[in-house]
């Protein structure tokens, strides 16, 4: 990944009737980046991708590609290719004809096209499928053909619109590794749209979390997970306890009546804030050793860990732990200061979008 | 062809339900249809084959079939083929763009256009054709309007043109609807994918949209070509007595009581239709009637 901006979205707005899908969106994508647009359905992530691909025109704003304004260009002259959610293969053509489609349009030589077909099929581990028809392939195979069909055109950017959405869990995980491998072998930019936070965390260099047409946070997977900027991001990425609290002073926060030491400074004195604590960051100790006392009220075995509900200070805390604590046990809750994430309460309109809509 | 297709599907379904004891009671529901089918489709078909291959003394003969080579019958068959080919082609040229427009417009105006299209079908077929006779007549609506503007009169009535016009008018909806039905089922992202891979509008149409719409086109051709080839009503009303199509010949034979001749010529016509269907299905592996072959 270099620092060169490859695509720059400037003040993009889009609405369908009264429904505002994107509002003044600004985002740049660097060369060789694996960037993921992550958010719930209706957050504007797919619309953003379709605007980059040229299938939708923004009402306002510009799409800059390598310094040129391509906002008005039709998709067939843009130097990028798309992998669609439901594969969108040409069912009346063989696999080879599907892959050759873009190259034949560009009038490449027969030998060149044949080489490319062989190369692409090898790359997606489907050699020997040339003469099969798309509907004789499984979902995962069809999706790999869709990827092959796109990459033979040597795009600078590959747009992927929830490409794994229609696949089952095991296949999805395998395909995640495949995609990372492909990205590394091809050395091109991937823009990936998904609502699956695990997929985003696994594959991306950069994650853009979106909600209701606004960007909530941009950052690396670690950054987004460990330091969510608002309640929406915290809630959307992984499980979390989000608790309305008061910042007493620098490095001290009052959560449900108990003072917890933390590492954040600069919020001021007695300021209302939201606190995010990941369930795996909560240590259950003897009642007298904890900062706040509680009682275990539920217990579920989740495989890797136990999921417990702990009633403390009139709130049920979600706790993940590898150690079993039986229901009814009196416990103390302890959290390491650097595991307490403090967030401002939402103020402006685009921060309002960060409120969790249940 | 569609009827036969439904038939085979029907028997498949009833076989399946026979295997399933839970729906054993339901299979009785198919009896009215089976009685209908044997009484009004199979028996007449067998009768036509029987009459077509026998003479008045009930002896076996090919004479009724070979009567097609009689100059008048042969000309009537060729004229019918020519006119129905023309009307099918015109229907296709009119229907395809209309189906594309229907597919692209928003839902509301869409159902309105479809309504306009099938509205004439709610009127009696004979009535519609007679209306056209009135419009095209020497002293009909069109010529009255032309005379009002002191323009020369048009002599369309009792010409092949009038017959083609009648065929196109009556059978156009049967071309539009199957094409439209296929077009709306094409995934928008398949079209987007073609654009994404560099195809311009024309290339996208030629390589993706048209090939994917072929089943509808073939269905439409079948549903226009077959009734056009066999019609005698349109040619009687709009062609006067001068223009005789094979349908008219067969009708006359039955009217005159020559059941054997009429059936024999009907068989020839059926062979022509089956033959053209076979050619069509070669062009379209996935067409609805392909399982017939």
| CA-based torsion, A287, A290, A292, A295: positive or negative | negative
Using CB atoms, pick whichever of A76, A81, A86 lies closest to residue B199: A76
Q: Do A89 and B194 touch (CB under 8 A)?
A: no
Predicted confidence at residue A350, as pLDDT, reads 53
Return the structure tokens found at A33.
């980046």
Q: What is the pLDDT of residues B31-85, one digit of tens each?
A: 899 999 999 999 999 999 999 999 988 889 999 999 999 999 999 999 999 999 9
Give B-chain residues touching A76 at CB under 8 angstroms. 195-200
Q: Do B193 and A91 touch (CB under 8 A)?
A: no
Using CB atoms, pick whichever of B187, B192, B197 lies closest to residue A101: B197
Q: Judged by CB atoms within 8 Å, which residues 136-155 of A form the interface with B?
A: 146, 149-150, 153
Higher-confidence residue: A350 or B134? B134
Crossing angle between the packed helical segments A139-151 and A95-105, to the nearest 10 degrees: 20
Q: Do A88 and B207 touch (CB under 8 A)?
A: no
Q: Does residue B57 belong to the interface with chain A, where contact is any CB pair within 8 Å?
A: no
Q: Does residue A91 belong to the interface with chain B, where contact is any CB pair within 8 Å?
A: yes
Q: Does residue A75 belong to the interface with chain B, where contact is any CB pair within 8 Å?
A: yes
Return the structure tokens found at A233.
């991001």
Give B-chain residues touching A151 at CB under 8 angstroms. none
Using CB atoms, pick whichever of A86, A146, A153 lies closest to residue B187: A86
What CATH topology corresponds to A231-353?
Answer: OB fold (Dihydrolipoamide Acetyltransferase, E2P) (2.40.50)
Give B1's pLDDT tier (boundaries 50, 70, 90). Answer: very low
Q: What is the pLDDT of residues A136-171, one digit of tens each?
A: 999 889 999 999 999 999 999 999 999 988 788 888
Q: Does residue A102 belong to the interface with chain B, where contact is any CB pair within 8 Å?
A: yes
Q: What is the pLDDT of residues B157-174, one digit of tens each?
A: 899 999 999 999 999 999
CATH class of A5-226: alpha beta
Using CB atoms, pick whichever of B196, B211, B212 lies closest to residue A81: B196
Using CB atoms, pick whichever of A75, A86, A90 lies closest to residue B195: A75
The overall average pLDDT reported for chain A is 91
**From the CA of B236, how many Å to the nearest CA of chain A?**
43
Predicted confidence at residue A347, as pLDDT, reads 62
Using CB atoms, pick whichever of B189, B198, B208 lies closest to residue A106: B198
Q: Do A153 and B197 touch (CB under 8 A)?
A: yes
State yes or no: pLDDT of B14 exceeds 70.
no
**From the CA of A92, how many Å to the nearest CA of chain B?**
7
Q: How far apart are CA A147 and CA A183, in angstroms?
A: 11
Predicted confidence at residue B246, as pLDDT, reads 93
Predicted confidence at residue B237, as pLDDT, reads 92
* pTM confidence score: 0.79
The domain limits of chain A are 5-226, 231-353
Q: Percent of chain B beyond pLDDT 70?
A: 88
The domain limits of chain B are 1-52, 67-289
What is the edge-to-edge ordering of all strands in the sheet holding A315-321?
Answer: A282-285, A330-335, A292-301, A306-312, A315-321
CB pairs under 8 A between A and B: 63
Q: Does residue B237 belong to the interface with chain A, where contact is any CB pair within 8 Å?
A: no
Q: Do B37 and B43 form a contact (C-beta atoms < 8 A)? A: no
Q: Do B192 and A102 touch (CB under 8 A)?
A: no
Q: Do A90 and B190 touch (CB under 8 A)?
A: yes
Q: Establish whether domains A5-226 and A231-353 are of one fold.
A: no
Enumerate the β-bridge partners of residue A152. Answer: none
Helix (DSSP H) and strand (DSSP E) numbers for chain A: 9, 20
Q: How far apart are CA A77 and CA A74, in angstroms?
A: 6
Give A-chain residues touching B196 at CB under 8 angstroms. 53-55, 75-76, 81-82, 150
Q: Does residue B212 belong to the interface with chain A, where contact is any CB pair within 8 Å?
A: yes
Write the CATH number of the domain with boundaries B67-289. 1.10.3720.10
Per-residue CA distances from B163 to B95, B238, B244, B245, B273 (Å) = 19, 6, 11, 10, 20
């Amino acid at each position: 990944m270099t620092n060169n901006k490859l695509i720059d979205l400037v003040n993009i707005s889009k609405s369908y009737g009264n429904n505002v899908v994107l509002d003044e969106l600004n985002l740049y994508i660097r060369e060789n980046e694996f960037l993921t647009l992550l958010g719930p359905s209706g957050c504007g992530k797919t619309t953003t991708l379709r605007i980059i691909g040229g299938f939708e025109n923004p009402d306002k704003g510009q799409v800059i590609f390598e310094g040129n304004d391509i906002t008005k260009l039709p998709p067939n002259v843009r130097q990028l290719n798309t992998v669609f959610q439901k594969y969108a293969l040409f069912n009346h053509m063989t696999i080879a004809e599907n892959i050759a489609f873009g190259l034949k349009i560009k009038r490449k030589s027969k030998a060149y096209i044949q080489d490319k077909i062989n190369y692409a099929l090898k790359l997606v581990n489907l050699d020997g499928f040339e003469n099969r028809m798309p509907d004789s392939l499984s979902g995962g195979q069809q999706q790999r053909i869709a990827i092959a069909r796109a990459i033979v055109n040597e795009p600078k950017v590959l747009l992927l619109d929830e490409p794994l959405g229609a696949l089952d869990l095991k296949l999805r995980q395998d395909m995640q590794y495949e995609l990372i491998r492909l990205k590394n072998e091809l050395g091109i930019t991937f823009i990936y749209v998904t609502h699956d936070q695990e997929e985003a965390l696994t594959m991306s260099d950069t994650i853009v979390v979106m909600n209701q047409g606004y960007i909530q946070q941009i950052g690396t997977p670690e950054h987004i997970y460990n330091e969510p900027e608002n309640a929406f991001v915290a809630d959307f990425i992984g499980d979390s306890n989000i608790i309305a609290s008061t910042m007493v002073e620098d490095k001290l926060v009052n959560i449900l009546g108990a003072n917890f030491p933390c590492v954040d400074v600069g919020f001021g004195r007695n300021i209302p804030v939201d606190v995010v604590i990941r369930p795996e960051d909560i240590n259950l100790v003897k009642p007298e050793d904890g900062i706040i006392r509680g009682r275990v009220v539920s217990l579920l075995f989740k495989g890797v860990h136990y999921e417990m509900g702990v009633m403390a200070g009139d709130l049920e805390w979600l706790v993940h732990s590898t150690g079993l604590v039986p229901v009814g046990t009196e416990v103390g809750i302890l959290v390491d200061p650097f595991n307490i994430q403090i967030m401002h309460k939402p103020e402006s309109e685009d921060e309002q979008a960060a409120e969790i809509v249940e | 062809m569609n009827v036969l297709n439904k038939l085979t599907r029907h028997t498949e379904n009833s076989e399946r339900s026979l295997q399933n004891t839970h729906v054993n009671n339901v299979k009785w529901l198919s009896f009215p249809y089976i009685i209908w089918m044997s009484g009004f489709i199979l028996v007449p078909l067998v009768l036509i084959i029987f009459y077509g291959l026998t003479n008045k003394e009930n002896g076996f003969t090919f004479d009724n079939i070979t009567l097609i080579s009689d100059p008048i019958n042969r000309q009537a068959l060729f004229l019918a083929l020519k006119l129905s080919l023309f009307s099918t082609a015109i229907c296709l040229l009119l229907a395809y763009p209309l189906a594309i427009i229907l597919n692209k417009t928003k839902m509301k105006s869409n159902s309105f256009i479809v309504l306009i299209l099938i509205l004439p079908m709610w009127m009696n077929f004979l009535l519609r054709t007679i209306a056209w006779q009135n419009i095209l007549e020497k002293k009909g609506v069109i010529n009255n309007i032309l005379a009002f503007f002191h323009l020369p009169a048009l002599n369309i009535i009792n010409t092949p043109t009038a017959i083609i016009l009648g065929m196109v008018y009556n059978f156009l909806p049967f071309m539009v609807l199957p094409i439209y039905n296929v077009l709306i089922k094409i995934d928008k992202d398949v079209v987007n994918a073609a654009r994404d891979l560099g195809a311009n509008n024309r290339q996208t149409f030629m390589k993706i949209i048209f090939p994917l719409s072929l089943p509808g086109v073939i269905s439409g051709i079948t549903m226009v070509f077959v009734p056009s080839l066999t019609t005698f009503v349109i040619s009687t009303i709009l062609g006067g007595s001068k223009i005789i199509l094979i349908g008219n010949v067969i009708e006359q034979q039955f009217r005159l009581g020559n059941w054997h001749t009429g059936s024999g010529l009907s068989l020839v016509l059926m062979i022509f239709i089956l033959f053209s269907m076979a050619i069509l299905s070669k062009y379209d592996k996935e067409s609805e009637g392909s399982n017939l072959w």
